[in-house]
Chain A
Amino acid sequence: MPRFARTVIFTLLCFDLFSAAAQDTSFYAKHAAILFPYPMYREKWRSSLGLTLLTTPQDITEEVRLRIPCGDFRLLRRINDHFIIDNRVMFQFLQNHLSTGLHFMLPVNKHIYFSAGDDIGYWFGYLKISGFNSQGSGWLNYPNVALGYKTKNNLLISLRAQVSFNLYYKAANGDNKLSSSTSYYNGETFTIGLEQPFYNKRHLTLGLSAINNYFYWQTWSLFYKTNRKIFYPQITVALIL
């Protein structure tokens, strides 16, 4: 199917999404969320704990396809009706990633919500076993926007688009060091999120991400920046605490 035709079909399908949304009966309720562009109304803090799992590109990482799941802790701090600070710790022992960012959030109407923000991330890793004597670290910047749709049955659907810029990285293998402070455009990530009540009073976050990057921090020990974007599908499952 030609690329243009696919793009047109997608555009029409997405029109359908929001045409359908326009017919919703009015419904207003508070909701509990982490990924959703407007995650909370009056609470000051919200947190979630979960796991992310991604697969690595087979042609590069070959038979090492699955990494161990990565722990994912998020902590939101609401500043006022329109601003929130989003903090995130992704931990995987050999490598870890911390990020924080300010997000502007806006309820467009009772069902549509919007946010835009910019996060700064820092990753670091150590590998000193089995012939490895390596360490690495770096800084990234993640501007992002998100759109959310709230159904009348507490189902929150989020669509998030994020780009990343690699600001700085350094790596060392034994006595050999490598570093670069040249920032470059690293790629983009698209995430679809579903959040809803799950069990008793617990709410569940499900996210499916399409990461398309030159460099991704979880594969730092296998290879540094590649000269083509690598596609990493990633799933996130988390419980809102």
Chain B
Amino acid sequence: MKKYFIIPVFFCLFFSCQKKYEVVMPDTATWSMFNDPAALPLTPASRPAMEGVYTLSKGNDIFGDQAAIKWSHTSKGSDTTYHVSGFFGKDIAYFICEGKQLNGSILLNGYWRKMVSTETGIVHLTISAANGAALLLGPGPVITPGSIVIDGFFGTGSENPGTPITLSYIRKLNNSPASFQIAAHRSGGRTSDLLPVSENSVAMILKTPEFGSTGVEVDVRFTKDGVPILYHDNTLNLREVQKSGLVGPIEDYTYDQLSTFVRLVHGEKIPTLREALDAVVYQTQLQFVWLDTKYTSSIAPIHAMQLEYIQKAAAIGRKLDIVIGLPGKDQFNQFLNLADYKNVPSLCELGANESDQINAKIWAPRFTEGTQNELVADEHTKGRKVYVWTVDEPAFITSFINDGHFDGMLSNFPSCVAYNYYVHQ
């Protein structure tokens, strides 16, 4: 009978290996010092002054040897929320914190996450007065190497932070080329990346600057009654939406039906393109929107909205490029039907010749073609930018930024692109 144990052991082993893959966001509202009523917002000048490349002397076994620290903000009416993000070189790790000042020190409170796994945790960071807070909070801060030291602790999951981390300022963030766009795929990432908000949602657009994105790519489709919405897949399915009984092509349903019956996986409504562009223009500082046209009918309605929001952005002094993305031949041919198409800002995923034909603002080759430096240089001589997509492998991101000459990169991991761009020398 002893030999009969083998089969149940096989199955027990198999079942024990199965585990649910999910990210449980920790509760970061537990730092009593940060919640002290006496803690005040940071001064406007301290935030950009804090930005830079830092070296890690503690915590580098977990996060790597360097970090790029960058501030971002979103607004809702007169309320502005600032976040500081730290992008690390190991395991596509980052932290996202809010900042306050208390008794001359700067406190940063938030969470960290590794995109290659489900690891996450709480992080508490402090810049003491002697280690740079006095300098940052003073008038006209001039930052030199070693003048800012960020000390703190991080934890795993919901446990209190107890593992030390120390970052020291070494230099400014790279900004060459100055117009390099860190474009986030599906406005920030996919469902499978286990982010706390759904892909192609307004919530993701508002969250994406924290990931280091300077621009977004969104997928545009039309409902049955002609409302442009953000949705990637051809059909309603459980990858994108909660179960409701609605199946089949999204174009079979009106917007009222979708907004009544359907919610995205994290509970948001499917946004209209108008809601998405409102969020970009009025609530973020994003500089670039790539409207990836997933449908094959007339481009004219999207072009009209593109013009409307370019004007709206200009009216409030926002620097914003909105381009119509042409992923295939059908969309390309529809684009040719636009009056004066050569003056319509567009992004062409087909060949360089097709980009010439429509005078595309941007040519976007797939990353699988490599860096193609000669072709890229050729496009630059024509005054055209080149964005590469969708680059997710960290080794390729590093290689494309260090050895390539692209003007922008689309990725599901904008934090990894941000790290490589900002630390590049």
Contacts and interface: CB of A to CB of B under 8 A. Distances in A.
Contacts of A11: 8, 12
Contacts of B371: 174-176
A131 B14 contact: no
A17 B8 CA distance: 10
B10 A161 contact: yes
A6 B393 contact: no
A63 B233 contact: yes
Interface in A1-22: 3, 6-7, 10-11, 13-15, 17-18
A207 to B, nearest CB: 15
Contacts of B7: 14, 17-18, 147, 159
Interface in B345-373: 349, 365-372
Contacts of A59: 190-192, 239
Given A14-B4, A63-B235, A3 B396 contact: no
A3 B14 CA distance: 12
Contacts of A7: 12, 15-16
A241 interface: no
Contact of A108 (B3, B17, B396): B3
Interface residues of A, number: 42
Interface bin, chain B: 35 or more
B18 interface: yes
Given A11-B12, A188-B13, A188-B14, A224 B393 contact: yes
Nearest to B6: A147
B22 to A, nearest CB: 10
B9 to A, nearest CB: 8
Given A17-B7, A59-B239, A159-B7, A173 B369 contact: yes
Contact of A18 (B1, B116, B237, B395): B1
B12 A227 contact: no
A175 B374 CA distance: 12
Contacts of A17: 4, 7
Interface string A34-67: 0000000000000000000000001110110000
Interface of A: 3, 6-7, 10-11, 13-15, 17-18, 58-60, 62-63, 108, 112, 114, 127, 131-134, 145, 147, 159, 161, 173-176, 178, 188, 190, 210, 212, 223-224, 227-229, 231
Interface of B: 1, 3-4, 6-8, 10-18, 21, 116-118, 190-192, 232-235, 237-239, 349, 365-372, 392-393, 395-396, 399-400
